[in-house]
Amino acid sequence: MRVLKRLDEIYAIAQYRAGYSPEEDAAHELAAGWMRDAGLEVSRDAAGNLFGTRGDARVWVGSHLDSVPTGGKFDGALGVVAAIEAASRLPDAPLAVVAFRAEEAGPMGSKKIESLPEAYLELHIEQGPVLANLGEPLGVVTAIAGHARGQKVFEGRADHAGTTPMDARADALVEAAQFILHVRKCAREGTVATVGAIYAEPNATNVVPAQVTVSVDARSADAKLLDALITEIGFDVQWKSDPVPMGDAFASVLPDAPRLVSGAGHDAMFVPNSSMLFVRSLNGGVSHHPDELSSAEDIALAVDALTAALARLAS
């Protein structure tokens, strides 16, 4: 299968292709050659986003080619390679295949697009177990979850770990531990919340922690639920994005496919008139990991659906 072969070629460049790195550059050059083979005119914008264009390209399709240090073959790259494959099946359709720069770092490229499409389609591995648990190969994305990040700081007092009685301690890490359990309890249906980083000071084995900072990551596709979650957790919000509803371009070609919310961010958040399609993740839905996997059969179905949706929009 040509899509899988091309994914292997991208992965052979490097597992880790940081945004604007030589490795991402090499992946873009490889994709540019495939775009030309598909009869597309190659260009780049000021942000370095790669376009393969044919005709009056008001319909865009694509994803990204950068990856995280522990990345697998499919995250981002599948969307670009599948888009090129779909474009090759529609030799007369006016469209643009796009490989955005540095999605994992921001995203950076899709935030800086110079023109706006009438529609943007993105095919992506699910990065979770929902479709596998449902026994379904494909899912139509209804929204990308809103996302809040921030921190909570706990103040205590540094004391000797061996000489300070337990009832005389002001242990910031104990307070932080209770807060972490509180964060988990606050995440109810329709929301998720995570403490993923802990910074203890002075960070010494024989000193009672004097200060602890914990990260908080809260998400929901419902803006009201997200705001309520933030309030209930009680933390200093440093960055926040609102939920982004997705279009129905894939719903028309897959009327019976499950509808899913994306808990992860994507380039589609920053491109107007976006629609997204998820492909079933295997291996328990693991992603940002070398074991990330979708089957050849599911990918074939996804490319067929992507081609059909593009044919409708670009006609």
Q: Are 75 and 33 part of one and the same domain?
A: yes
CB of 148 within 8 A of CB of 230? Answer: yes
> Which one of 207, 241, 275 terminates a domain?
241
What does residue 182 show for φ and ψ, rounded to 5 degrees?
Answer: -65, -45
Which of these three, 241, 259, 283, is where a domain ends?
Answer: 241
Which amino acid appears at position 13 of this protein? I
- Quick one: angle between helices 2-13 and 296-314, nearest 10? 100
In this structure, what DSSP letter does residue 160 have?
A: B
pLDDT at 123: 98
Q: In terms of domains, do 263 and 282 share one?
A: yes
Selection from 223, 45, 235 nearest residue 153 by Cα: 235
Domain of 176, CATH number, reads 3.30.70.360
pLDDT at 106: 84
* Predicted pLDDT at 315: 87
Q: Do 182 and 233 lie in a common domain?
A: yes
pLDDT tens digits for range 93-147: 999 999 999 999 989 999 999 899 999 999 999 999 999 999 999 999 999 999 9
Report how far residue 139's alpha carbon sits from residue 130's, in angstroms, rounded to the nearest whole number: 9
- What's the distance, Cα to Cα, between the start and end of the chain in Å? 27
pLDDT value at residue 125: 98
User: Which CA distances in Å does 244 have to 43, 135, 139, 220, 284?
Assistant: 28, 26, 17, 10, 26
Residues in the chain predicted with pLDDT less than 70, given as ranges, are: none
Q: What is the CA radius of gyration of the chain?
A: 22
- The predicted model scores a pTM of 0.91
| Enclosing domain of residue 282 | 2-144+243-314
Decide if 273 contacts 247 (C-beta within 8 A).
yes
- Indicate if 213 and 234 belong to the same structural domain: yes
